[in-house]
Amino acid sequence: MNSFLNLVMLQNLYKLKALGFEYIDPIVINEHNSLEKPNSFRELCANIASCHLCDLSKSRTQSMVGYGNPDADLMIVDYAVSLSDDASNGYYTGRSGETLKNMIENVIGLSVNDVFISHAIKCKPLGSSRPSEAEWNSCKSHLYSQIEMIKPKVIVTLGQEAYAKFSDNENEFEKVRGHVCDFKNYKLIPIYHPNFLLRNPELKKITMSDLLTIKRCL
C-alpha cells in the first residue's frame, strides 16, 4: 500500500474515532474511490476542514479552508497559516493582513470578498518550524483542487516560499517577482509577502508596480 493510501486510511480512522467508534473490522481500501476528487467546492472545503493526512492535524486549532469568492478572478496564495490566523481563524489578521487588505482594495480595486485567499499549507506549523516536504505533499492536492474549481484568471503568490510551491526553482523568485508566469493554464504573479514589506518599506514602490500588473491582467 502506498503512503498516500496509508494517509487516507488514517484520515478515515480519525473520523470514525470522532464518531465514537472504538473498534472496526479490518479495512479494505478501494484505491479508485480513495483517490476520487471532491464533486463540489463545498465538499472540498469539508475535506480540508476534517483533514488528518499529516501530523499538523494533531497540533492545529483548525484547518483553514480559505476565504472569499469561490468564483473569483483573483486567487491569492500565502505559504502557511500564521499564529494570528490560527488563533482567530481569520485571513486578514495583524499588520500583515491589514497591509494585504489595503493592497487589494486600494490598489487592485477589489473587495476582499471578491477574491479568494488560501494557504499552501492549510494548518499552522508546529511551533516556529517550517512545514516539512511530507506535510506539503499531503496538503498540495487540496490547494490544486481549489485552483481547478475556482479557475481564477490570476494566481498571486505571497513571498518566496509560496512561489516555490508552484515552481521547481525557489531561488528564481527575485527574477520572476512581478512578472506574469505560466502555471498550467493560469497566469501566476509572484509578489513580496506583506510581512516582508513591513520589514523593508523601501520595496513598497516596487510592489505598487506589481499590483498594477495584477490589475491589468484581471
Answer yes or no: is 17 within a domain. no
Residues forming a β-bridge with 74: 154
| Average pLDDT over every residue of 41-54 | 86
Q: Is 191 helix (H, G, I), strand (E, B) or coil?
A: strand
Answer yes or no: is 99 within a domain. yes
Q: What pLDDT does residue 171 have?
A: 81
Using pLDDT thresholds of 50, 70 and 90, give the confidence band for residue 33.
very low
d(CA 62, CA 73): 27
Answer yes or no: is 185 within a domain. yes
Its pTM stands at 0.81
| Residue 55 amino acid letter | D
Give residues with Cβ within 8 angstroms of 51, minimum separation 6.
11, 57, 63, 122, 123, 138, 139, 142
Answer yes or no: is 10 within a domain. no
Residues in the chain: 218
**Containing domain of residue 79, as a range?**
37-217
pLDDT > 90 in the chain, percent: 52
Answer yes or no: is 88 within a domain. yes
- What rounded mean pLDDT belongs to the chain? 84
Answer yes or no: is 171 within a domain. yes
Least confident window among 21-25, 104-108, 156-160: 21-25
Answer yes or no: is 32 within a domain. no
Number of separate domains in the chain: 1
Q: What pLDDT does residue 85 have?
A: 83
Q: What pLDDT does residue 61 have?
A: 73
pLDDT tens, residue by residue, 131-142: 778 788 888 889
pLDDT tens, residue by residue, 52-77: 877 777 777 778 899 999 999 999 99
| Average pLDDT over every residue of 127-132 | 70
The CATH number covering residue 143 comes to: 3.40.470.10
The 10 Å CB-count burial string (b at 16+, else e) for 194-216 is bbebeeeeeeeeebeebbebbee
Answer yes or no: is 173 within a domain. yes
